Structure 1
Amino acid sequence: MAHKKGTGSTRNGRDSNSKRLGVKRYGGQVVRAGSIIVRQRGTQFHPGKNVGCGSDYTLYALIDGVVTFEHKDRKRQKISVYSPEETATAVTI
């Protein structure tokens, strides 16, 4: 009886490639239209104002502007993009 495993007998030794998910642009960062903000599986973050959602739930900017993370309700967060004019008026009020 062999006391060492023969070649090819192991069932381990493989792994999938990482999918590079996560937040790509954080709150306060300036983005251009089409920039990916978050890559995710499912809607951990929901699209807000001026943010689109791809078929794989990727959130991306629809306009040039500044990223903001907001609370939709107790559990859900939404991501919006505001133009520089909108952010300037929001700060002065």
Structure 2
Amino acid sequence: MAHKTGQGSTKNLRSTAGKRLGIKCSDGQKVAAGNVLVRQRGKSIHPGKNVGIGKDFTLFALDDGVVKYIKKRGNKKVAQIDSE
């Protein structure tokens, strides 16, 4: 009988699928209420006027209009919808 167990397979050859994060609607694009604007991990882009945030930090439009991404003081980025 062997004194030691055989070695298992290596653990670093697997790769996970991409999570499809990022901006889904660009600046100046027309959107309808409910459209997803940004999928993100954490609040790298904050919700502004007429923009909601989901429990997974997804930003979505609360009203029809045009998407606008603005930079606030410091490094803060905000997504907002300008209604038409």
Alignment of 1:60-79 (within 5 A): 60-79=60-79
User: TM-score, with normalisation over the residues of structure 1?
Assistant: 0.78
- Write out per-residue CA displacement over residues 52-81 of structure 1, whole angstroms, 9 at most, x where no aligned residue: 000000000000100001122121010000
User: TM-score, with normalisation over the residues of structure 2?
Assistant: 0.85
Q: How much identity, in percent, do the aligned residues show?
A: 51
Unaligned runs of 5+ in 1: 1-7, 85-93
State which drifts further: 18-27 or 67-76.
67-76
Could you tell me which residue of structure 1 aligns to residue 82 of structure 2? 82
CA RMSD of aligned residues (A): 1.7
State which drifts further: 70-79 or 31-40.
70-79
* DSSP 3-state at the match of 1:26: coil
Structure number with higher helix proportion: 1
Whole-Å separation in 2 of the counterparts to 1:25 and 1:15: 28
Whole-Å separation in 1 of the counterparts to 2:11 and 2:47: 42
